[in-house]
A and B are shown apart, each in its own frame.
Chain A
Amino acid sequence: MKEKITIPIGPQHPLLKEPISLRIDASGEEVLGGTLRLGYVHRGIEKLAESRTYTQNIPLIERICGICSHVHTTTFCYAVEALLGIEIPPRAQYIRALLCELERIHSHLLWLGVLAKHVGLETVFMHSWHDRELVLDIMEELSGGRVSHGINQIGGVRFDVDAEHHPMMADKMQKLHERITQFMQIFEREPSIKARTHGVAPLSADLIRQYGLAGPVARASGVDVDMRRDDPLPPYDRLDISVITHPDGDAWSRTYVRIYEIYESLLLCEKILQAIPEGNISVRARRKVPAGEVVVRSEAPRGEVVYYLRSNGTEYPARLKIRTPTLPALAIMPMQLAQIHVADIPVVLAGVDLCIACADR
């Protein structure tokens, strides 16, 4: 059975939450390469953004991607505030950072479940998604929404972290901490998982640099870059962040990096909750933004998000360019596909942590 076959992982496939069209050419069980077709989720967000005012854009930008919605609105709001030349109150900065970290935990736990499901461990998928409900409960308590929170506005945030939220959050995060240690033990000791992830689809550090990747996939290959530390938005310059890297860049190190990043985010949440200053949570912002251009970078759960925004004095943005982290990650995927078995495709796809809604915009 050695003749070449093309395996269509088409718009609909149990492997994909979102539609892409991946044509894998394989001979027998060996994968030779793959061609990728995006554009199934292209809704022209940048075009739509030009026909909406800045405040109307926040619900739109929140719906670019359901998993990292808060990071998008945070970056957009910081960009508009930079153009307006206003500084949001420190309490609002800390609340924004708190939700960014909660969203990172939520995204990494979601990814952990999806990887376990693709490797054949339904049980770990169920348990990790059950524990993810803890994070969703916290976000629902804070902002009322499980997936799209609507907590950001230009000039600050709309909901405050009240006194009785603190014990609830502390207790839930403590429970989460124990659960993550259990998952880490499972992933480190279980021989069948190790057999499926060790040495699968390694990525070298200079390949990562050539493709301009900056995120968990890059950190898993030893490239020490994290936008929260290297190009920090306001609250992160006052918080010390330890960046987790792993030298050998295969599927296992991508797992290792993401799980330990959940620990790191839990620690960050505790630091934020202790260091959160008192004060009001938003500042009045004018509707018309003076002419100017700005570029803002921030760290989404999957890597570096770049926002370029230009205003022309009206209340409509003149140009909004969004570059999401999944685009370079998708560009590098065919390189990974050239050295694996057919059975490893799910592990590679889970390792890239696809977010097609981000990539296609």
Chain B
Amino acid sequence: MKGRTRLRQTINSIYRWAQKNSLWVIHYNSGGCNGCDIEILDLLTPRYDVERLGILAEGSPRHADVLLCTGPVTRQSKEGLLQIYSQMPSPKWVVAVGSCSITGGVFQGSPTVLGGIDKVVPVDLYVPGCATRPEAIIAAFVQLQERIAHGK
């Protein structure tokens, strides 16, 4: 029996190493001011270039591991957020980028705003900042990678 569990452990650690080094990201804006979205797109550009960390931007939720969402979930875009989250194969992680995706930020109190991604989907990492800086998002990715390496 001992050999089997050690085999399972090595396979799991290899899987974790692979998941750590190959995070495929899908971005969803749930009603924010697109300040954070252009900073997320900035991650792909030469100055910040997240492909060094093995991060790719994907178009289809089926191919994605990390859901990067911005915006203080408006009532109209809540159903889209749930649909994307359900389509993503596990293991999946959710990163909420920007102050309004954490608490509703400057749009708090508006009748059409739910105020925060964690009111709809479970969130793994919060990245504060109003128009989050690309460096902060990269720091969040590095932290997510360490968390994956240690088995969530």
Contact = CB atoms under 8 A, between A and B. Distances in A.
Interface string A31-52: 0000000011111110110010
Interface string B66-82: 00000110101100100
Nearest to A106: B38
Interface in B46-94: 46-47, 57, 59, 61, 71-72, 74, 76-77, 80, 84
Contacts of B74: 39-43
A357 B31 CA distance: 7
Contacts of B46: 126-127, 129-130
Contact of A66 (B36, B61, B133): B36
A104 interface: no
A17 interface: yes
The listed residue with most A CB atoms (<10 A of its CB), out of B34, B72, B84, B100, is B34
A42 B112 CA distance: 7
Contacts of B38: 17, 66-67, 110, 147
Interface string B18-31: 00000000101111
A347 interface: no
B33 A65 contact: yes
B34 A66 contact: yes
Contacts, number: 119
Interface of B: 26, 28-39, 41-42, 44-47, 57, 59, 61, 71-72, 74, 76-77, 80, 84, 100, 105-107, 109-113, 130-131, 133
A289 interface: no
Contact of B32 (A42, A130, A357): A357
A357 B34 contact: yes
A215 B61 CA distance: 35
A90 B142 CA distance: 47
Interface stretch (A8-16, A170-178, A264-272): A8-16
Contacts of A12: 26, 28, 61, 80, 84
Contacts of A11: 28, 77, 80
B29 A44 contact: no
26 contacts: A11-B28, A11-B80, A12-B84, A17-B37, A19-B28, A40-B74, A40-B77, A41-B32, A41-B71, A43-B112, A43-B113, A44-B111, A51-B109, A63-B35, A63-B105, A66-B36, A67-B34, A69-B35, A113-B45, A126-B44, A126-B45, A133-B47, A146-B131, A147-B35, A147-B38, A357-B34
A65 B80 CA distance: 21
B151 to A, nearest CB: 30
Contact of B30 (A19, A65, A147): A19
Interface in A329-361: 355-357
Nearest to A114: B41
Given A126-B45, A133-B47, A146-B131, A43 B35 contact: no
Contacts of A129: 41-42, 45-46
A148 B109 contact: no
A60 interface: yes
A47 B111 contact: yes
Nearest to A15: B59
Contacts of A17: 29, 34, 37-38, 41
Given A146-B133, A147-B39, A48 B61 contact: no
A41 B84 CA distance: 17
A43 B72 contact: yes
A18 interface: yes
Contacts of A127: 46
B67 to A, nearest CB: 10
